[in-house]
Structure 1
Amino acid sequence: MADKLLIRAYNVGCGDCIYVRIPKARKKDGEVDDFHMLIDCGSKAGEAVLKAALNLLKPELPLANGKRRLDLVVLSHEHEDHMKGFNPLFFEDVAIENIWLSAAMNRKHPQSKIARAFHNLAETAMRNVAKRRVALSPALQEMVSLYSISNESAVKTLTETLPEQNGIAPVYVHSDSKAAELNLKTLVGDVAFTILGPDYNIDYYYMGDEGAIDLRAFSEAAAGVLASGRAPADVQPGNISSLDFRRLQSRMMSNAFAYTAKDSTLINNTSIMLLIGWRGRRLLLVGDAEWEGTFVDGQHNGAWNVAWKRQRAKLDQPVDFLKIGHHGSTNATPWNDKEDRTVTEASTILDAILPLPAGNMPKSGPKAVVSTARTPYDVIPRSTLLVEIAKRVSNTKIYAPLLSPAQIQGLPNYVGFEEALLGEPQPQRTDMETLVTGKPYVDIEIEPAAGH
């Protein structure tokens, strides 16, 4: 309906491609129109599925001088499952008015020098691993893919190509960004955009005091054999046996992967955490922001913990919509993952934003959606987390009876990770919704609050 805000999560496999339409929230040259946003466009499934999603999106956008208009593009963070679809060819017929990127992507940001150097080392190390074509486990192959050359192309598209095509400059946002700095000159009505993360001081809050030490250690781990990208026989020194050299190489490789995993977590934790206020409603879209046990000043912290510490007054209220983070991963929505009901900082955050209802959940209660696909790993999605969230939202489904035996048999690792809990309510999931409805997206509609 015309008076409802729309969130549409396209089914792009394990990735995010999210369209938001805010009714009557744009005014230019005296004309009032809907405000159109694209938050992320990425997938581990490849570009074809993303191109298909964008082809479905474009007819939803208004025409502007022969092109389809997007008022705002937001990239939450620089991982392929959020940005792989930012191919300039896909956007040739789209006029973009604003681009927001995480402050962590700003190569000149004064408070992320250590984080940026750490990321550059991870990128170099993983690309050299890829060159060597060594046999890797699926998990390590996935890590290497996070630093592929296609990621660099997507970053260039968002920081240079699309801004130049549209006569704009990207805005690097953080939790200290003021409304004027966000540059949404056409936004009108009862709408407010608040950035809860990342914090401006990236090195301090997400790297911590040990960041410089980690950087030096990573430099040593990524040096020599690993950084060279050459095969072992080409670089073995003469003063070490072949067996000792292989052990050394294995240890260096292991250390480099360990530090790269830390960089990947850092990228997730510097996701844009966006709170949209609209006509008495609160919508929270968090990228892949992660949580840890408890905030500790001066140490590396999870994004949720930093936001709870630094932006608590804005976060410590129920939301009407949650984009479940990191495709349903266990470490991306704050909760008591031990499931023993002990009160923790993480469970306190969840109780604040999605409190358990006192009685039956009303149909007008909060909603959530997760862009996910069952993977070979139990953490994405974590079914027990989805069942826990389902207790707190109104748009749930029990998927097991809605799927055919053939569909169930086609789910990867169904017996290990899905069988026990697909018979319990879960929030709407892009993968299951496509199986059940045939639609390549999930629509969530939000009505204005009473009196708004």
Structure 2
Amino acid sequence: MVTATLRMYAVGFGDCFLLTVPRFGDRPWRMLVDCGVHGMGRSEHSLGTVITDVLETCRDGDGGAGGGAGAGGKPVIDLVVASHGHQDHIAGFTDARWEEVTVGEVWLPWCEDPTDTEAQRLRTRLDGAARTLHQRFAVDGPEIAAIALNSLSNERAMTTLRDGFAGAPVRRFQSATAPVRTELPGLPDARIHLLGPARSEEAIKAMDPPELERWLALGAAPAAGSGPGLSGSESLGPFGPAYGIADRDLFRQRFPHLDTDDDLLDHPVLDPDDALAAASWLDRCLNNTSLVFVVEIEDVRIVFPGDAQWGVWREILANTDARALLERATLYKVSHHGSHNGSPKSLVHDVLPDHVTSMMSFRSMERWTAIPQTDLVAALRTPGRTLLRPDEDLPAGGAAGVGEVRRAADGLWTEIDLG
């Protein structure tokens, strides 16, 4: 018996997952998790094509007995989740066709709440730095500009997520410091356990795991409070306040040989290497606002961590109840496309079960040749485990202990039956 079907779209370097749960005598229950792609990592399938398939799938009774309210009419999605604000997760929500989709609920991270003062202060600071970097390097530093753009709020997409869709959906801006259980209307044997993110700048700042948790040995990680801007200053530029000129009169008095006009002091020239580091820092910072949750349907447990990195995982793995949920995972959506800091070693080696199936959404890119991490891929393929990727053939015989695996003829999606 198929309990649920999870479809992973080949968007490129980004995420788009559609979960379908059959219901006897009614239309299937559906949840969409993210819909976006990085500007430097598009696949041969456009986001428009992906969205067309999502909407057509959700328009009728495909996958279950009876068509219910969505059959032959407008598409219906019970729950839309935007894991975090990166464009490779939400860019697809700029499509005008979402206005025709009836949605029951929309979940977003707490930092996207327009009525939350703390959230808006954080969002303004992050956007200000991203916008500065994007504008400065739009012409002579396209790589830097693209990374900054991915971190910049996509207002058209956010307008859809906050105010769009048909059906007047309920909006929930979520956070958690311990597992929060939410029942799912219409699915008596299903629930969602929200594990993160915490409302904590400390967690947001902690992006690089300690050495024992990394899949890749990097250079020295920044101190816990380092990095551009999240040190308490109200200004989030590409560098911390220690690198600014707080008192220009005192500066001119102490360093008269460095004196220059106010226009240059207002617009410092960034070294490209420093700017790239700053853009990457912003990119990783937003990852730590990702919603992390477990969908539980009967005996099936699907882990969706967005692009969570060490700051989020540290809080989750320290919680006994959260670990217990992860230890019973059926399927793991690999965090941050298989990067070195998306899935801590202890999560993969010590917490996820030996029979877990994983789905990794990414596209190989010249800029990020280390994604996915070779050692992480190997760990997710130890005997008894299965890893599904859009760039590889499907495993013979399906996923061990789970169910049938299928792929669209044109490679647009890969899906797996769970149950």
Task: Say whether residues 1:80 and 2:87 are aligned partners.
Answer: yes
Tell me, in whole angstroms, the C-alpha distance in 1 between the residues paired with 2:129 and 2:329.
36
Of 271, 274, 278, the match for 2:290: 271
For the Cα contact (< 8 Å) 2:93–2:157, is it kept in 1? Answer: yes
Q: CA deviation at 1:129?
A: 2.0
The residue aligned with 2:317 is 308
Of 325, 329, 336, the match for 1:319: 329
Residues 55-74 of structure 1 mapped to structure 2, 5 A cutoff: 55-63=52-60, 64=69, 66-74=73-81
Residues 262-411 of structure 1 mapped to structure 2, 5 A cutoff: 262-291=281-310, 302-310=311-319, 312-315=322-325, 317-335=327-345, 347=346, 349-356=347-354, 365-376=355-366, 377-391=368-382, 394-396=385-387
Cα RMSD over matched residues? 3.9
Structure 1 gaps, min length 5:
26-30, 227-237, 292-301, 336-346, 357-364, 404-425, 428-432, 448-452
Structure 2 gaps, min length 5:
61-68, 207-223, 245-257, 401-405
Of 133, 153, 157, the match for 2:156: 153
Q: Deviations for 1:121-141, whole angstroms, at most 9, x for unmatched residues?
A: 2233234325xx341263x24
| Aligned partner of residue 307 in structure 1, secondary structure | helix
Specify whether residues 206 and 390 from structure 1 end up closer, same or farther in structure 2 by C-alpha distance, changes over 3 A only.
same
The residue aligned with 1:136 is 141
Residues 108-187 of structure 1 mapped to structure 2, 5 A cutoff: 108-109=115-116, 112=119, 115-130=122-137, 133-136=138-141, 138=143, 140-147=144-151, 151-162=154-165, 165-175=166-176, 184=184, 186-187=185-186
Task: Say whether residues 1:41 and 2:61 are aligned partners.
Answer: no
| Aligned partner of residue 52 in structure 1, secondary structure | helix
The residue aligned with 2:5 is 6
For the Cα contact (< 8 Å) 1:269–1:303, is it kept in 2? Answer: yes
Q: Deviations for 1:91-129, whole angstroms, at most 9, x for unmatched residues?
A: 233211111111121244365466334313223323432
For the Cα contact (< 8 Å) 2:79–2:106, is it kept in 1? Answer: yes
- Report the AA paired with residue 51 of structure 2: L
| Aligned partner of residue 33 in structure 2, secondary structure | strand
For the Cα contact (< 8 Å) 1:129–1:144, is it kept in 2? Answer: no
- Report the AA paired with residue 30 of structure 2: H
Specify whether residues 189 and 33 from structure 1 end up closer, same or farther in structure 2 by C-alpha distance, changes over 3 A only.
farther
For the Cα contact (< 8 Å) 1:283–1:319, is it kept in 2? Answer: yes
Q: CA deviation at 1:250?
A: 2.9
Tell me, in whole angstroms, the C-alpha distance in 2 between the residues paired with 1:220 and 1:115.
15
Q: Deviations for 1:188-221, whole angstroms, at most 9, x for unmatched residues?
A: 221110111111x222432488475364674484
Residues 88-103 of structure 1 mapped to structure 2, 5 A cutoff: 88-103=95-110
Tell me, in whole angstroms, the C-alpha distance in 1 between the residues paired with 2:128 and 2:43.
25
- Report the AA paired with residue 249 of structure 1: V
Tell me, in whole angstroms, the C-alpha distance in 2 between the residues paired with 1:16 and 1:288.
10
Higher percent of residues as helix: 1
For the Cα contact (< 8 Å) 1:117–1:215, is it kept in 2? Answer: no
Specify whether residues 10 and 400 from structure 1 end up closer, same or farther in structure 2 by C-alpha distance, changes over 3 A only.
closer
Specify whether residues 129 and 187 from structure 1 end up closer, same or farther in structure 2 by C-alpha distance, changes over 3 A only.
farther
Tell me, in whole angstroms, the C-alpha distance in 2 between the residues paired with 1:438 and 1:382.
27
- Report the AA paired with residue 58 of structure 1: L
Say how many residue pairs are matched.
359
- Report the AA paired with residue 204 of structure 2: Y
Tell me, in whole angstroms, the C-alpha distance in 1 between the residues paired with 2:127 and 2:176.
24
The residue aligned with 1:196 is 195
Q: CA deviation at 1:173?
A: 1.2
Mean alpha-carbon deviation: is it higher for 212-221 or for 11-20?
212-221
For the Cα contact (< 8 Å) 1:354–1:393, is it kept in 2? Answer: no
Q: Return the TM-score normalized by structure 1.
A: 0.68
